[in-house]
Structure 1
Amino acid sequence: METGHHERDQELAGGMMNTVVRRGDHVVRRAPPHAGALHRYLTALSDHGFTGAPRPLGLYPGDGTEELTFVEGDVALPPFPAWSRTDDTVTSSARLLRRYHDAAARVPFDTGAAWPTALGDPEGGTVLCHNDPCLENLVFRGGAAAALIDFDLAAPGRPVWDVAALAFYLGPALPPEALARTEFAGADVAHRLRLVADGYGLCDTDRRALPETLVRYHEVSHVFVRDMVDQGNRAFVDAVERAGGWQVWEHARERRGVWLRGQRTAFLAALTGPEPSSGG
């Protein structure tokens, strides 16, 4: 594969784990170590009719890159625009995640592959979870979530793990004082958690498991970011520095964990109580 500069190359913003270059109707990026297994899975997913993910086009061991289809649409990047913060965005994202899981349940994956465990479900599972369904990895068309991108961290897990991850990012699951410093200031996190569950069609068992799963996702993501910083990942180092440095970031993470644990009863009530009225 030719890797030199092309006049039409366009580096896409938003990536924390990888540099992605758009080249016409496809993208070129550094391939993860398990790219072979991931490409086979994504190809099978597409063959089974799921159009909400990139389709692999090529893998080039010589220069360590991969080529995938470019997914057209809108991606929300910080500072998150108003359209990406609405209840409708939460609901449509949850619906997309459910469509993905329904398709993924029908698609086999290589159980012997070295799937990354960095953001994976500690309990494992039989579905290949995305594990990082944040706004930056969701593509919207016509105001509705249409695709998931960046499957580098996908690994076997339980669907509720991915639902917790979506709620963690789209809640966003932050204590009030931290939320007030974001574009989501004033958001009703418990309400948005209910929107995720309802949009996804979460069963009662998983609704009851979701508050604790949110706590565990926070703990796993905490370790993940710490490891990225320890490895010198520039994007994560810069993010921590923008937050005020390591001690400030670590304190905020600890505060978030304490708050999440303290909210489990309130979250459970929001998830399992009477369905909210559709008025207003």
Structure 2
Amino acid sequence: MTEVALRSVGKLLRRVREANAAIAVDTRVDWPRDLADPEGGTMLCHDEGARTVGDLRGQLRPVPSGHTELPGVIEQTTAACRTLVADRVADGEPTYVPSHAEHGGWRRWDRIQEWLTANREAFSTALQD
């Protein structure tokens, strides 16, 4: 990924965070936990793929304006998604099993995590601009 593209992603993430922060979420609702932040929160995420694989929503915490924290939260979210996929694949869900295999399996997940870790500093820098 080029520096320009990485900065663009960082700016987009900042805009998404600001937009999400403006939406009130009832924290008393028992939201699904599959994609939820383990620390809970006052923001709601929704997986656009949910139209085909079920309702995947979860509560998220707003990331403080400390730019150094967001890349770590992205890594944590990626790990939560990996767990979700692992559970679905282990259960033999027909939507997940072939998709997981066709898109590179666990090697792909490992590459994603390695890339995120390797680019953590660049993300933090891009978010400060």
Query: How high is the TM-score relative to the length of structure 2?
Result: 0.72
Cα 1:99–1:258 shift into 2, 3 Å: closer
Q: Distance in 2 between matches of 1:268 and 1:100?
A: 20
- Residue 122 of structure 1 deviates from its aligned partner by 1.4
1:108 aligns with 26
Normalized per residue, the structure richer in helix is 2
Relative to structure 1, is the Cα distance of residues 262 and 234 closer, same or farther in structure 2, using a 3 angstrom cutoff? Answer: same
Q: Residue 124 of structure 1 corresponds to which residue in structure 2?
A: 40
User: How far, CA to CA, are the matches of 1:128 and 1:108 in structure 2?
Assistant: 9
Shift of residue 204, structure 1, vs aligned partner: 3.1
> SS at 1:156's partner residue?
strand
Shift of 1:153: 2.5
Distance 2:69 2:114 in 1: 18
One of 106, 115, 118 as aligned partner of 1:250: 106
Flag structure 2 segments of 5+ consecutive residues without an equivalent: 1-7
**Superposed CA offset, 1:63-91 (max 9, x none):** xxxxxxxxxxxxxxxxxxxxxxxx7xx85
Partners of 1:158 and 1:119 lie apart in 2 by 12
1:204 alignment partner in structure 2? 65
Name the counterpart of 1:239: 99
- Mind listing any 5+ residue stretches in structure 1 that lack a counterpart? 1-86, 138-149, 161-202, 274-280
> Deviation per CA, 1:149-168, whole angstroms, max 9, x where unpaired?
x99332332033xxxxxxxx
Question: What are the superposed Cα offsets for residues 15-72 of structure 1, whole Å, 9 maximum, x if unpaired?
Answer: xxxxxxxxxxxxxxxxxxxxxxxxxxxxxxxxxxxxxxxxxxxxxxxxxxxxxxxxxx
Alpha-carbon distance in structure 2 between the residues aligned to 1:263 and 1:103: 30
Paired residues of 2:32 and 2:56 also in contact (CA < 8 A):
yes
Q: Which has the higher strand share?
A: 1
Quickly say closer, same or farther: Cα 1:153–1:260, change in 2 above 3 A.
Answer: same
SS at 2:33 equivalent: coil
**Partner of 1:213 in structure 2?**
73
Distance 2:112 2:57 in 1: 24
Give the fraction of aligned pairs with identical amino acids, expressed as a percent.
27
- In the alignment, the residues of structure 1 paired with residue 62 and residue 46 of structure 2 have an alpha-carbon distance, to the nearest angstrom, of 10
Q: Which residue pairs with 2:3 in the alignment?
A: none
1:158 aligns with 2:61: yes
Retained in 1: the 8 A contact 2:20–2:43? no
Change (3 A) 1:151 1:99: farther
In 1: Cα distance, 2:72 partner to 2:15 partner: 22
| CA deviation vs aligned residue, 1:188-216 (integer Å, no higher than 9, x gap) | xxxxxxxxxxxxxxx632x2211111111
- Extract structure 1 runs of 4+ deviating beyond 2 A: 93-101, 107-111, 150-157
Amino acid across the alignment from 2:83: V
TM-superposed deviation, 1:128 = 4.2
Q: In angstroms, what is the RMSD of aligned CA positions?
A: 3.0
CA 1:153–1:239 in 2, change beyond 3 Å: closer, same or farther?
Answer: same
Task: Determine which structure has greater relative contact order: mean sequence separation of CA pairs < 8 Å that are 6+ residues apart, divided by chain length.
Answer: 2
The separation in 2 between residues aligned to 1:116 and 1:151, in whole angstroms, is: 11
- Contact 1:204-1:272 at 8 Å conserved across structures: no
